Amino acid sequence: MRTEVTLQGLQAALSPVRLARKSIGFVPTMGNLHQGHIALVREAKKYCDVVVVSIFVNPTQFGAGEDFEKYPRTLEADSQLLADAGCDMIFAPSVQQVYGNKPQLTTVQVDDIANDLCGKSRPGHFTGVATVVTKLFNMVQPNAAFFGEKDWQQLAVIRHLTTDLCFSIDIIGVPIVRDENGLALSSRNGYLSSEEKQTAIQIYQTLKMVEQDIKSGQTDLDAILQRGRDYLASKGFVVDYLEARTPDLKPVTDSQQDMVILAAAKLGSTRLIDNLHIKGIH
């Protein structure tokens, strides 16, 4: 496994791969890796000849008062995990490599779906995500890119920008990896105390309760979701949202249709997200 830190080094390293007509799989990350990230690498290895993982803490997707400065930078540990998983190349650029020295006048904005859910409480977040992913796609030029379904909204935004900007890249979503208690793996779980970790599993429990209510034939989706919000609040969460959307993030019009229940809530100072895809009855 090799590590490149410049665009020139990355492109020189990938040039022979392209000449040999080998496929390139790409996993963009912000580092501080866990087994959820490793699942993306393993999936990429199934599809592609060469797997590139970027490690870049992107400043433009953090809002005021968010955790950009304290976000853990753990390149050495990340590199070991990636080597063990069979990653071929790490791309770990500096902010200057990605954004240059001149003011950034160009951004990529995905309207509509990026303004809902997390986009409401984190204005500008998805513009930062869409812009950096577009830049990384241009730098790596992969055949396929792999994203976790834990951030369902982010995945939907990236699918849209890939289609709208005519990238010839297959976007592949990979199911959520959970710990033995059902907590979705996340780099932010490291901010939780052991007591908070025990409480945090209630997000998934709430999603399962909502699913059970829907599958039992209850049709008042608003009431079901409100019960879920109240339950989370009773457990000490500050609920940002608990909402139902279609898989492409449109409003749900029928409680029996295919839907995703999406949740975001703060526990102490840590913001957690999760979701559950519920297959429609018809």
Q: Which CATH number fits domain 2-174: 3.40.50.300, 2.60.40.1180, 3.10.129.10, 3.40.50.620?
A: 3.40.50.620
Answer for the pair 133, 28: CB distance below 8 angstroms, yes or no: yes
Where exactly are the structural domains of the chain? 2-174, 187-278
Q: Is 186 assigned a ligand-binding role in the annotation?
A: yes
Q: Is 154 assigned a ligand-binding role in the annotation?
A: yes
Query: What pLDDT score was predicted for residue 61?
Result: 95
Does the annotation count 282 as an active-site position?
Answer: no
Q: Is 36 assigned a ligand-binding role in the annotation?
A: yes
What is the rounded distance in angstroms from the CA atom of residue 146 to the CA atom of residue 148? Answer: 7
Tens of pLDDT, residues 13-62: 999 999 999 999 999 999 999 999 999 999 999 999 999 999 999 999 99
Query: What pLDDT score was predicted for residue 65?
Result: 81
Q: Which residues of the chain have pLDDT under 70?
A: 281-282
Query: What pLDDT score was predicted for residue 282?
Result: 54
What is the rounded distance in angstroms from the CA atom of residue 39 to the CA atom of residue 149? Answer: 11
Tens of pLDDT, residues 167-178: 999 999 999 999
Answer for the pair 161, 133: CB distance below 8 angstroms, yes or no: yes
Query: What pLDDT score was predicted for residue 281?
Result: 64
Catalytic residue (one of 37, 160, 277, 282): 37
Q: Is 148 assigned a ligand-binding role in the annotation?
A: yes
**H or E segment and range at residue 147:** strand 144-148
Query: What pLDDT score was predicted for residue 89?
Result: 98
Q: Is 228 assigned a ligand-binding role in the annotation?
A: no
CATH number, domain 187-278? 3.30.1300.10
